[in-house]
Amino acid sequence: MARPEFKGIVWRNVYHMLCYSVKYISDLNLDDSDYESIKGVADLLGKILIEAHKYSLSYSKLTEYKPKTSLSTNPKGRLDIYKSTSTGKDLQGKLYHTHYTLDIDTIPNRIIKKAYEILLEAGRDSDSFSEETRTSISYYLNLLRGVGELSRDDIVNIYNNNIGLDTLQNWHKPVIAISQLIIRNSLLLDSYGKIFTFVFDNYKQLNLIFEEFVRSYISEAFAGTNLRVSRPVYKVSGGSSLHLDILCQLDQRFLVIDTKWYEHEPEGNANSNEVYRYAGAVERNNTSVNGEHRDISINALILYAKTFSWPIRHPCTNERLRDIELLIYERQLDLNKSFEEIQSDIVELVNETMPK
């Protein structure tokens, strides 16, 4: 049984969204897995991570040859004559030598280990995991004994998607890709991009998976058209940044999409104020190109993941951005439909809310 706060979530659809959010996950062919027994986000991610790790290990281990200096009577590799003769000690026929050995302590294994640790911490509540998932995570984490910790630079590279994923052998890509998602989605950052700590928040994970899915699917659905999809970052006063979820551009028309997945019905108009700021950043950065003014039109869409029923209170709000009329739409995407219907609804929403 799912935990009460996850009632209504169709986990099979979340898995399909993950296939868009995380490259290479579809290579695992998990479409026929049992998603009805999933207890929560950590349980789902844990099961996928375990299957990806099994898949990786079925081909080879993520090891590297690293140099090791030893002292023995049976040297191999390259002799270090200088070190052997300059110690001032009787080495009793032993010589220093440097040779290469396979080492499990690699960056990819550190990434996998960190992902397991984050999930295990998230699953301290016994209701968050199935016992099978908990036992499997402990088993595979035990295989990584001797693997070190990620450095701050490693974590920054993970956050910036700069870990050389495409250089890995194909069978290792799924486990590193899902591990990277778990780590990135658990990072707490301030507006200046400084890393504070790792916190696994169920609805932050769902929201980021939802965001990446919507952005990736729009790119796929409108491939071959003039519509461009991006995730821009705009600098604002004080040195901080505004990170937009999704920006669709068709000629001089812009659609700002802000995705939300809530555990409870949202209250107030904070989301409208947020997308107003995003739209303002789009206006400031696109009305002048190479010093020349151009006329643009902007709309905004607040897109809620819907897994339970609640009313949209402000379907469309008319605002002003200096000389530009801004329409802010609020819509729900019903995630309890079939996945094909969800995909079709996304296309209809973009067509409906893009400036005419």
- Whether residue 159 sits in one domain with residue 35: yes
Give tens-digit pLDDT for 51-94. 999 999 999 888 666 677 878 888 777 878 778 777 767 777 78
Look at residue 198 and tell me if it is in a domain: no
- Whether residue 51 sits in one domain with residue 69: no
Give the chain's length.
Answer: 356
- Whether residue 311 sits in one domain with residue 167: no
Answer whether 70's CB lies under 8 Å from 96's CB: yes
pLDDT exceeds 80 at position 289:
no
- Whether residue 213 sits in one domain with residue 70: no
pLDDT exceeds 60 at position 4:
no
pLDDT exceeds 50 at position 158:
yes
Give the burial string for 58-89 (b: 16+ CB within 10 Å, else e): eeeebeeeeeeebeeeebeeeebeeeeeeeee
Last residue of a domain, which of 158, 191, 224?
191
- The most confident of 132-141, 195-204, 261-270, 340-349, by mean pLDDT: 340-349
- Whether residue 287 sits in one domain with residue 147: no
Number of domains in the chain: 3
Look at residue 196 and tell me if it is in a domain: no
Task: Show the domain range for 308.
Answer: 206-353
Rounded Cα distance, 328 and 258, in Å: 11
Give tens-digit pLDDT for 112-129. 999 999 999 887 766 778
**Nearest C-alpha neighbor of 5 from the set 37, 38, 40:** 40
**Nearest C-alpha neighbor of 30 from the set 167, 136, 178, 143:** 178
Look at residue 197 and tell me if it is in a domain: no
Cβ-proximal residues to 177 (8 Å cutoff; 6+ apart), any chain: 22, 23, 24, 25, 52, 165
Query: Residue 107, SS3?
Result: helix
* DSSP secondary structure code for residue 251 in this structure: T
Dihedral sign for Cα 123, 126, 128, 131, please. positive
pLDDT, mean of residues 11-37: 91
Amino acid at 289: V
- Whether residue 90 sits in one domain with residue 43: no
Which range (125-139, 211-225, 253-267) has the least confidence?
A: 125-139
